[in-house]
Amino acid sequence: MAKIVVVTSGKGGVGKTTTSAAISTGLARAGHRTAVVDFDVGLRNLDLIMGVERRVVYDFVNVINGDANLKQTLIRDKRVDGLYILPASQTRDKDALTTEGVERVLNELSEDFDYIICDSPAGIERGALMAAYFADEAIVVTNPEVSSVRDSDRILGILSSKTRHAEQGNGPIPGRLLLTRYSPERVARGEMLSVEDVQEILAVDLLGVIPESRAVLNASNAGTPVILDEDSDAGQAYADAAARFLGEEREHRFLDVPRKGLFGRLFGS
C-alpha cells in the first residue's frame, strides 16, 4: 500500500511542481518506489521539469478513460531507479478527472509503489480538490508573503474536511509546511515574512525552507529536478526536506543572510 501525498498550495506559481519533482526524486533515491502524478490537466508542467516531455505517449486522462494502461503510460526516470512519472494531458479539460477514475488509478499505483506524490494545480477548485481527496498526507507549499500564507491557511482548512480520510471520520490528514523562495535578505529588510511569522500564522509542522535560488530555474531549464544539483543551496534544502519527510531529523539551513556566519543562526541550533 502506497502512501499518497498531495503537494498543494492554493496560490499559483509558488513552487508545487518544483517541489513534487524534487521530493519524489529524493524519496526514490532513498530506495522507495515512487510515482509522481501531474494533476494539472491542461497545463502539464511536471514532465518538463522532470525532463521527460519528449517521452510522453499517453497521459493520466488516457488511463482514466481506458485508452491506455498504466504500464504503457508511466514514464520511467532514467536517472533514479524506482521513480516513475504519470504525466497530465495537455489537451483535455479538467472534468476528465472523475473521482472514480482517479481512485481506480491511485489504487492500481498503490499496489506497486511506496509513495505516490500528487502535484496539485493551483486554486481550490475541482482539480485541486481531486488531487487532495485521496491523500494520506499533505505538503503545503507557501511563499513568505501574506497572500500565499492566507491561501495555504485556506487549503489547510479544506484539507481538514475534504479528503476521503476526513470523510471516513478519521480527522484531518497531517499537513506539513514547505516554505519556498525564501530570501533571508528580504526578510531582514522586512519585505517578506519570516519563517517564524509564517509558522505562527499556520501553526503546522515545518518540513523545510527552500531558499530563493537561481539553481531552480537552471534545473527546470535543464529538465533535472533541482534536488539532483547537490552543490546548490536549493538542492541541498530539498534533500534535507526529503530526509525529514522520511523521519530523519535535520537542522534547518539557509535561513540567515549569508556571511553572517556563526552568529546568524536563528533557528534550529
Ligand X SMILES: Nc1ncnc2c1ncn2[C@@H]1O[C@H](COP(=O)(O)OP(=O)(O)OP(=O)(O)O)[C@@H](O)[C@H]1O
Q: What minimum distance in Å lies between the beta carbon of 207 and ligand X?
A: 14
State how far the Cα of 266 lies from the Cα of 236, in Å rounded to an integer.
19
Residue type, 162: K
- CA proximity to 83, closest of 40, 20, 133, 141: 20
SS3 55: helix
181 near Mg ion, rule: CB under 5 A: no
Can you tell me which of 11, 16, 32, 165 binds Mg ion, judged by CB under 5 A? 16
For 243, the 3-state DSSP assignment is helix
Residue 241's CB is within 10 A of a number of other CB atoms, namely: 26
**Is 15 among the annotated ligand-binding positions?**
yes
Binding site partner of 160, from ligand X, another protein, Mg ion, none, Cβ cut-off 5-8 A by kind: another protein
Q: Is 223 annotated as belonging to a binding site?
A: no
Binding residues among 127-166 for another protein as defined by CB under 8 A? 150-151, 153-154, 156-158, 160-162, 166
Q: Does 142 bind Mg ion (CB under 5 A)?
A: no
Q: Residue 192 and residue 6: Cα distance in Å, rounded?
A: 26
Q: Is 17 in the site for Mg ion (CB under 5 A)?
A: yes
User: What is the DSSP track for 146-205?
Assistant: HHHHHHHHHHHHHHTTSSHHIIIII-PPPEEEEEEEE-HHHHHTTSS--HHHHHHHH-SE
User: Is the Cβ–Cβ distance between 48 and 220 less than 8 Å?
Assistant: yes
Q: Which stretch binds ligand X (CB under 6 A): 9-17, 98-106, 129-137, 244-252?
A: 9-17
We find the least distance from the C-beta atom of residue 198 to another protein, in angstroms, to be 12
Q: Which is nearer to another protein, 183 or 199 (CB)?
A: 199
Among 89, 142, 163, 213, binds ligand X (CB under 6 A): 213
- Give the three cell numbers for residue 202: 499556520
Q: Which residues bind another protein (CB under 8 A)?
A: 150-151, 153-154, 156-158, 160-162, 166-167, 169, 171-172, 200-201, 203
Q: Which residues bind Mg ion (CB under 5 A)?
A: 16-17, 45
Q: Which residues bind ligand X (CB under 6 A)?
A: 9, 12-18, 40, 45, 121-122, 180-181, 210, 212-213, 216-217, 220, 234
Q: Residue positions in the annotated binding site for ATP?
A: 11-18
